[in-house]
Chains A and B, each alone.
Chain A
Amino acid sequence: MSVEIEKNLKLSVAPEMPAHLETSTLEGRNKILGLWFFLGAEVVMFACMFGVYLALRNSTAGGPTTQDLYEIPLVAIMTTILLVSSLTSVLGIHEMRKGNFRGVQLWFGVTVLLGAAFLSLEIYEFFHYVDMGHTFTSSAFGTAFYTLVGTHGAHVLFGVLWISGLLYNTRKEGLTDFTAPKFYVASLYWHFIDVVWVFIFTVVYLMGMVG
Chain B
Amino acid sequence: MAQVQTNPSTSTEKKSKGASKYLISFAIMLTLTAISFIAVGTGAMPVGVLIPVLLSLAMIQVLMQLFNFMHLSDKGSGFPILFIFTGLFAGILAVIAMLYLL
Contact = CB atoms under 8 A, between A and B. Distances in A.
Interface of A: 15-21, 33, 36-37, 39-44, 46-48, 50-52, 54-55, 72, 75-76, 79-80, 83, 86-87, 90-91, 93-94, 97-101, 174-178, 180, 188, 191-192, 194-195, 198-199, 201-203, 206-207, 209-211
Nearest to B58: A202
A200 to B, nearest CB: 10
Contacts of B3: 174, 176
Number of chain B interface residues as a range: 35 or more
Nearest to B41: A72
Given A51-B97, A98-B8, A99-B6, A195 B66 contact: yes
B81 to A, nearest CB: 9
Contacts of A86: 26, 65, 69
Contacts of A55: 98-99, 102
B2 A176 contact: yes
- Interface class of chain B by DSSP: helix
A162 B83 CA distance: 24
B5 A99 contact: yes
Nearest to A36: B80
Contacts of A198: 58, 61-62, 65
B88 A191 contact: no
